[in-house]
Chain A
Amino acid sequence: MPPPPDKVPAQREDGQTPPVTEPRRPLKSSDRPAKTRIAKTNPAQQSLSLAPLTELQPDDPPAGAKRTGARQLWLCNHFPSLPLEALNARNKSMPDVVFENQQGNRRVLLASTRAERLGITPGLSINAALALAPSLKLEERNAEKESRVLERLAVWAGRFTSIVSLEPPDLLLLEIRGSLRLFGDIKALRQQVESGLAEQGFKPSMAIAPTALASVWLARAGRSVSIDDTTNLAGALSSLPLRCLEWPESVRESLNGMGIYCIGDCLRLPRQGFARRFGAARLLQLDRALGRLPDPRRSYRAPERFSEECELPEEQSDSEMLLEACLQLLSNLERFLTTRQIEVRHVQFSFFHLRAPATHLTLGCRQTGRKKEQWFELLAIRFDRLVLPEPVISIRLRSGAGQALQADEGNFFQTSGQRRNTSITRLTERLSVRLGNDGGVHGVTTVAEHRPQYAWRKAETESPGPRLPPCAAMSNHWHAHHSPLLLADIRRTSSLLLRRPLWMLPEPLALIAREGNPQYQGPLKLEDGPERLETGWWDGNGIARDYYVAVNTKGIRLWIYRNRHKEATWHLHGIFG
């Protein structure tokens, strides 16, 4: 659950700490007198540092201070070289230098270690950098790509904790107090996060502190510390330089002018004066960092649907190469689905061309799927027949609506019946994808119904196969015989039973009658019948028919009927086969 957004009211200029309602925790009645007392004390006398504050309120620290400190533990990942790493993660070829375009003035933003060794430093103009190293690979900063990479990392970080907070452009915060027991201890968890990020090509500076802001500042300052307790916090923060607060340049300069260079100096200033000079917001920030005030954060919510685009390095029409790119997208999809524990039934590939409109390819799957092999197999079948008007420049994969993962009911004694049922679904999927008609691949089942055309219906193939009751027309004779029969058994049963043809026409075919005799490729000879069926009057599709078994001149046995309604018309309904 994401904590609700910061509910801090508008900042007041009187330097007083505005009362903050802390979410999810009822305000204790004992808090109220304490708060009023804070308001009464003369703020001018109050210093910013923690020590005098506790002196003033020995019995009751400000609301939430101890509790938030004890409850939360934030791990902050600061990615100082994200502009470079983001480009690196996408393309395999790593640029040496990322530059920024400021009003036509292109300057180096970040340089790789290789470029730095050549003497290229941030701030250098591009021309100067190229003069130093002509073979330099340059790329412009792509802020959109960076934020996408950061979001991807946030999704990835979901494996460590349920509370992941993103702070663009370069911060990723994880609340890890709740996960410590699962991962062992702070050290083990930190190591896992670190190695996981390193695998993906990121090298963040990482810090752990009881408050989110403190962890951010520590990480920005490059102190890779792990502070577990609020009591050590003030000490750890006080030596940090002011630049890691990322306050505006003017504020920093005026503070520097007052001889204040680090957070510790700041904390020693009187509260009211500080608030008046530099704004209550900055005072609030300091209070939050020290854990005196709660600092609720919005938790990152990953998108519900998968959508990812893969840009091809060049125009591509080779199906092998395209399928390879699709496979890469599918494996990302699989990772996405596994992380979120959902499955999808539909995915859509879009192939973009330079000039022609995009080609879309939607794949559907009967069984919800998340395995990339399963999707790839379906894709490969459809891909053969896909006509691409032009070479492809990029491919996008989008998933349909996800649904909760249905865990397979494991059977302790794995029976072969289940195994077969799962794999027949794969066959039916393959067939329906290729044949392209939904409902063209189906199973069958009988319906207890006298009317021949309603005595069966299509069935799902994956339904487990309980033995279905035979149709009602037969049940009188049949109930003992729906176990497999041998021909001898069939012969023994009454002739009435077997008056159903193996082939059925989708619609009865009207037959011409000559002198009362029906004709079908010649005159028909009635062999058996009639079997009178008169039923279904209640739903408007009633029938009143006399069914006969007839044989034509070619020796083919047909199932025909004569309508008993108005005029006695003959119809062909089935072939005995």
Chain B
Amino acid sequence: MNDALLHLLKNPRVWRGSQPGTPDESLRESLRESLRESIQEASRGPAAYPTGYARLDGHLPGGGWPSYALTEILLEHHGMGELKLLMPALARLSNVEEPGPHVNRHASGGDQEAGWIAWIAPPFQPYPPALLQWGINLAHMLVVHSRQGIEALWAAEQALSSGNCAAVLVWSDALDNRTSRRLQLAAEKGQSWAIAFRPLEAATQASAAALRIALTAGEQGTDVRILKSRGGRPVTVSGVIHHYVQDYAE
């Protein structure tokens, strides 16, 4: 373009349909910048899945479970309320009709986020009637029985990177720093949420998980201790999961 034309275009009386109607270059630049940021934000996928427990959400960066990442749940015994803690988020993920409010459908490719929930090497049988009560779409349940070692981690990695699974729950005693990194990468690749259950002693080991929490029995129910969270700080949230009777008998 020659100078005369540029001069003409800068004239405020000239209206151009395809451009933001301001001739101010700096403003336009800032608009572009913010647009670029929001696109980047969107392409990173959902920030977090709300846990369904408001008090816990308040302490988690992004206000929920980290998406497309590895979450570690450390517990002393099975049955501490670890499933109850996950149920609201899993119910939302397993249902196609109801993507979470944070979920950006466009960025993650249509309905991919509302996919399958894979249970790999569960210590007991997940009980479908109870899952149904929690609102899990049973048509999206995948149970994989394998040995609780490297095999379970392999299966978890496959499930995570397949792109079909919205969440992968894995029980394995072979998880360490290196394998947790692999799961983390697989979760990013397959846009999935990895949840690994580990014994409480693993708290001292290093891990690549985006979020590590420990469940301990407290006075008003199960306490959630946040050991590590990306962009958050360690804190103990007491009584997240209430006692059975308090929870439901109103």
Contacts and interface: CB of A to CB of B under 8 A. Distances in A.
Interface stretch (B15-23, B153-161, B204-212): B153-161
A504 B127 contact: yes
A420 interface: yes
B47 to A, nearest CB: 19
Contacts of B146: 431, 435, 437, 440
Interface string A265-278: 00000000000000
Given A424-B164, A484-B95, A486-B52, A443 B133 contact: no
Interface in A416-473: 416-417, 420, 423-424, 426-428, 430-431, 434-435, 437, 440-446, 452, 455-456, 458-459, 461, 463-468, 470-471, 473
A485 interface: yes
Contacts of B165: 427
A558 B142 CA distance: 24
B80 interface: yes
A443 B142 contact: yes
Contacts of B29: none
Interface residues of A, number: 69
Contacts of B132: 446, 468, 470-471, 474, 482
A502 B244 contact: no
A445 B133 CA distance: 13
B79 A576 contact: yes
B141 A500 contact: no
B42 interface: no
A356 interface: no
A502 B130 contact: yes
A504 B125 contact: yes
Interface string A467-509: 1101101100010001111110111000101101111111000
B117 to A, nearest CB: 10
Given A420-B111, A435-B155, A575-B78, A445 B138 contact: yes
Nearest to B124: A503
Interface residues of B, number: 67
A572 B123 CA distance: 15
Given A417-B111, A427-B158, A431-B155, A441 B129 contact: no
A430 B158 contact: yes
A408 B29 CA distance: 51
A137 B159 CA distance: 53
B250 interface: yes
Interface stretch (A142-150, A386-394, A549-557): A549-557
Contact of A558 (B53, B79, B111): B79
A527 interface: yes
Contacts of A575: 78-79, 124
Given A431-B158, A577-B78, A468 B138 contact: yes
Interface string B194-235: 000000000000000000000001000110000000000000
Given A487-B52, A577-B83, A527 B245 contact: yes
A528 interface: yes
A556 B92 contact: no
A574 interface: yes
Contacts of B173: none
Given A444-B128, A504-B125, A434 B159 contact: no
B173 to A, nearest CB: 17
Nearest to B218: A555
A548 B145 CA distance: 29
A502 B131 contact: yes
Contact of B222 (A459, A495, A549, A555): A555
B139 interface: yes
B37 interface: no
Contacts of A484: 91-92, 95, 97-98, 135, 137
Nearest to A445: B138
Contact of B127 (A417, A428, A456): A456
A474 B129 contact: yes
B113 to A, nearest CB: 11
Contacts of B145: 435, 437, 440-441
Nearest to A558: B79
Contacts of A498: 130, 133, 248
B140 interface: yes
Contacts of B127: 452, 456, 500-504, 574
A428 B248 contact: no
B144 interface: yes
Interface string B33-59: 000000000000000000011000000
A444 B134 CA distance: 15
Contacts of A428: 142
B198 to A, nearest CB: 16
B174 interface: no
A440 B144 contact: yes
B81 interface: yes
B84 interface: yes
B217 A555 contact: yes
Nearest to B95: A484
B250 A491 contact: yes
B132 to A, nearest CB: 5
B115 interface: yes
B155 A444 contact: no
A435 B151 contact: yes
Contacts of A424: 116, 142, 162, 164
Given A424-B164, A465-B139, A576-B79, A456 B129 contact: yes
B106 interface: no
B195 to A, nearest CB: 13
A495 B129 CA distance: 15
A506 B138 contact: no
Contact of B133 (A440, A490, A503): A490
A575 B124 CA distance: 9
A466 B139 contact: yes
20 contacts: A420-B115, A427-B158, A427-B162, A431-B146, A431-B155, A437-B145, A440-B144, A441-B144, A442-B142, A444-B141, A470-B132, A483-B135, A485-B135, A500-B129, A502-B126, A503-B125, A505-B125, A528-B249, A556-B77, A577-B81
Interface of B: 52-53, 76-84, 87-88, 91-92, 95-98, 110-112, 115-116, 122-135, 137-146, 151, 154-155, 158-159, 162-165, 217, 221-222, 243-245, 247-250
Interface of A: 416-417, 420, 423-424, 426-428, 430-431, 434-435, 437, 440-446, 452, 455-456, 458-459, 461, 463-468, 470-471, 473-474, 478, 482-487, 489-491, 495, 497-498, 500-506, 527-528, 549, 551, 554-558, 574-577
Given A445-B138, A446-B128, A490-B248, 5 more contacts: A424-B116, A431-B146, A490-B133, A495-B248, A501-B127
